[in-house]
Amino acid sequence: MELISRGMVQVEKMNSLGIVKSCRLHDVLRDFSIVKAKEDGFGEVMSSIKKSVCPRLGVHISSERVGFGEVAAYNKHARSILFMFDHEKYITKMPTFNEVKLLRVLDLEGLEGRCKFPKEIGNLIHLRYLGMKHISVIGPIPCTISNLQKLQTLDLSGMHRFFEGNASMPDVLWKMEELRILCLPSVTTKQLRMDNLRNLHTLKGVKVGSWMKKNTSTFTNVVKLNVRTQSREEVSEVIPFVDGLTSLQCLSIRCSLYYGEKEIFSTVPLQFGGINCQQLVKLKFYGYFPARALPNPCEFPPNLTILKLDSIALEEDPMPTLEKLPNMTHLYLSELYYGTSMVCKAQGFPRLQKLQLSRGAILGRVDS
C-alpha cells in the first residue's frame, strides 16, 4: 500500500471491500525493475533458452526459441519459475521437473496441450505454491501430489478440460496438512477427504458432501468459502456448516439446477436465510434456483455488506426485502426476478453505494 500511495505501483483491480486484487508497474519502472533485479541476482525474465544465475525466473513460452522442458534443465538452482504461455503455443510434452528439486514456486497457468501431468511432480517436496489455473492437459492429477507436504497454495481452478473419461481428482488432499489456499476445478465430482486441513484460509470449488458433517472444527480458520450444490437439500446442508465457521467473511454458493424445473418455482423461499455468521460480509449465490421469494431481512447475515444474486428466478419482487438490509453497500442482481417491475422506496438501502442490474435482472421498470 505504501508503494501505491507513492505512485510507484498502479492499482489495476480493486474489489468491493476496497482490497487491491491486482496491480501493475508503470512501463518505465517495470523496465528499470527488470534490469535491477537481474543485476542483483534477484530474478530474470527469459525469452530464450539459456542458463540464468537468478533463483526467480519468469519465462515466456511464445515461440520455438523457448523450450518448456529445457528451461528447467538449464536452471537447476531455480527456486521460483513462472511460465507465461502464448495461447497459440501448444505443449506436446510436459517436463518432469526432476532437475529443479529446490523449487518453492511453480506456476503453469494457461498451459494447453495433449500431454499428461507427470507423476514426478511429487518429487518437488519443497514447493509452497503450485498454480495450475486454466490449464488443459489430459488425464488425472497423479497421487504423488500428496508428497508435497510443505505446499501452502494449490490452485486448480478453471481446469474445465483437465479430466477426461473416468479420470478424477485423487483423494489425497487430506495428507497435505500445510495447505492454506485450495481451489478445486469445477469438474471434480467425487467426495474428497479434508478433515486434516486445519490451516485452510481459502477453500473454493468444493462440492457439498459428507465432509461438511464430520468435523466442523477443522475449518474454523476458513475466511473464504466457495461451494457447489446440485439440489435444494444440498443448499440446506450448507447453512448449519457455515454457522460453525467463526472466521468466515466471504461465502459463495453455486447451484447447478437446470432450467425447466418449474414444479418447484413458487413453493418455498430461497434457502440461504438463517446464516448467522457475525463475520460474514460478502455473500454470492449463483445458479438457476427458482423460488417464491427471498428470506426475511432478519434471516440474512447481520453484517452483510456485499450481496450478489445471479440466475435465481424469483416470483416476488426482491426489493422490499433487500432495501431493509441495514449494512448493504454493494448489490449485484442478474436474472433475479421475472416480474414486470421492481419497487424501491426512497428511504430504503440506507448505506447503498453501488447497485448493478444486468442480464435481465428485471423485465420491466424500476419505480422509486
Residue 294 domain-assigned (yes or no):
no
Rg (CA), the chain: 23
- Grid cell of 121 as nine digits: 511432480
User: How many structural domains is the chain composed of?
Assistant: 1
When pLDDT is cut at 50, 70 and 90, the band that residue 172 belongs to is very high
Q: Domain of 30? A: 1-40
User: Is it the case that residue 231 has pLDDT exceeding 80?
Assistant: no
pTM exceeding 0.75? yes
User: Is it the case that residue 140 has pLDDT exceeding 60?
Assistant: yes
Cβ distance 90 to 113 under 8 Å?
A: yes
| Whole-angstrom distance, CA of residue 175 vs CA of residue 33 | 39
* β-pair partners for 308: 284, 332
- Grid cell of 271 as nine digits: 434457502
**C-beta atoms surrounding 178 within 10 Å:** 14
The separation between the first and the last C-alpha atoms of the chain, rounded to the nearest angstrom, is 40
| Whole-angstrom distance, CA of residue 144 vs CA of residue 176 | 11
Q: Give the pLDDT confidence score for residue 91 in this predicted structure.
A: 66
User: Is it the case that residue 163 has pLDDT exceeding 90?
Assistant: no
User: Is it the case that residue 268 has pLDDT exceeding 50?
Assistant: no
Which residue bears the cell 457455515? 242
| Whole-angstrom distance, CA of residue 81 vs CA of residue 75 | 10
Q: Give the pLDDT confidence score for residue 232 in this predicted structure.
A: 72
Strand ranges, E, within 242-319: 250-255, 282-286, 306-310
User: Is it the case that residue 356 has pLDDT exceeding 70?
Assistant: yes
Mean pLDDT of 291-315: 86
Residue 276 domain-assigned (yes or no):
no
Residue 14 domain-assigned (yes or no):
yes
DSSP 323-354: TT-TT--EEEEES-B-SSEEE--TT--TT--E
User: Is it the case that residue 322 has pLDDT exceeding 50?
Assistant: yes
Residue 192 domain-assigned (yes or no):
no
Which residue bears the cell 492499482? 11
| Whole-angstrom distance, CA of residue 322 vs CA of residue 325 | 6
Q: Give the pLDDT confidence score for residue 277 in this predicted structure.
A: 78
* Mean pLDDT, the chain, integer: 79
Residue 27 domain-assigned (yes or no):
yes
Residue 197 domain-assigned (yes or no):
no
Pairwise pLDDT comparison (169 vs 322), residue with the higher score = 322
| Whole-angstrom distance, CA of residue 347 vs CA of residue 189 | 46
| Whole-angstrom distance, CA of residue 161 vs CA of residue 43 | 32
Pairwise pLDDT comparison (347 vs 339), residue with the higher score = 347
Question: What's the DSSP call for residue 199?
Answer: T
Cβ distance 89 to 62 under 8 Å?
A: yes
